[in-house]
Structure 1
Amino acid sequence: MKISAIQTEDDLIRDALIAQHMDHFDAWWQLAIAWLEPPNLERGGWSGVGRWQLRCADNSTVELYVKRQQNHTRWSLRYPWRGLPTFMVEYDMLKHLRRQGVRVPDVVYAGVRDVQAGRQAILATQALQGYVELTPYCTADNMAAEPDLLAAVAHALQALHAAGIQHRALYPKHLFVRREHDTYEIAFIDLEKAKHMWLPAWQRLRDLRQFMSRLQDWPDSLLYQLYAAYMSGQGKLYHRCGWWWLRWGLKRLNKR
């Protein structure tokens, strides 16, 4: 994949980037930002993310997350020899899910280049406006008191999987929530491990088990409410077998 371009459809952001000469790869690579956490050193390279405030012509600021990596690659049947930078995997997923109506961050800039040291990639996304991390709201007491939130989470997971995507890092910290009047909206972040589903019945349950494994204070009755809301419209046999497999898997992981 060869790409190096501003991606945003917001004219205010685009004009600000061009005015500040942030329309080419090296400007993003040299941008002075601090890592939000130590870079990931797996996959034979490194990968990290920082936060940057972009000032626009109207003196407003836009918060961006800037991801940079070098030689941090994922191999696949489509890219068997050199692989694909994991941020470009995420870029593809973000574009696909947005087309499918799943809420994800807006891509502002994406780029890949080959240098003597290897392959470098950048992905900049706009912070989700008005959203907060789901984790603090994901306690058993809060979810029991907010059935609409539990239903919103279940329906968001349905939408993600209906789009044919397995998240593969489906933890509460990677879901964000925004309340609009009496309804909740859920968005997904960190999709660099995601993949298209080839065995959806199996991969959906793997995602659900991964998510439920972090809900350690939830009683079985509440877990089942989430599962039943997610499984609405599915066949009875798949529903029953899926719940049995989830409960068995969670016990095996020593999470229950």
Structure 2
Amino acid sequence: MRYRLIAVLFFIPGLLASPVYAQQQTPVQHQKAGTSWIMPAVLIGSGLALHYSDVKYDVMRMVRQGAGADFRTHLDDYLPAIPAAQLLSGDLFGLHSANNIFAKATNVAAANVLSGGAVLLMKNAFGELRPDGSDRKSFPSGHTAIAFTNASLLFHEYRSTSLPYALSGYAFAVGTGCLRMANNRHYISDVLTGAGIGMLAGTVVYFLNPGGKIFPHKKDKDQLTYITNPPPQFSIVFTIK
């Protein structure tokens, strides 16, 4: 059991951060069919596996011993909103995004409704008791789902403009999940599943892009026209948009 627990403790941080590495390594044009869909499945599958394992209790004891029995912070209540704020304000820093601000706001709302609805259904279905015993809404983690939902949207919007900025939201998402455990509110299984749900919701909404359909980008109407006249009787017009 001891060696299995040590292996899990080394494995978990890498698993939570794996979306950052995987998406950084995958070419933009392959994201839709690649890691954008694989990583949510890996996270959700790992979370479900740990949900039915006693290892989650051992991990929680280790986390609580490291953080301290009296550890408590409300920072995890605010971190999930930071990637959303980054998403909406990136244009102010001169970073071009895939959608305008109205489309981005619409996508944020749609993705959070989707992930929040999925989390609520699962909380009611599983009825998992929280580590602190406060209620039976532990599995999966809603805070982590929201954080990864917003981080996923941020990544997709800015990945072709500024990859460091696009990936930065995952730092706040991972921090949210870690603090939920340190606060004795969630098990590792809750956090991993919530992360997967959030990534999946953000990816689905981005590729469906309801905001972009309602508030499309204004296309550049400027055109350059070149006219060449090989013989006098012919005129060929090339229009570049």
Higher helix content, 1 or 2 = 2
TM-score (norm 2): 0.23
Higher strand content, 1 or 2 = 1
TM-score (norm 1): 0.22
**Structure number with higher relative contact order (C-alpha < 8 Å, ≥ 6 residues apart):** 2
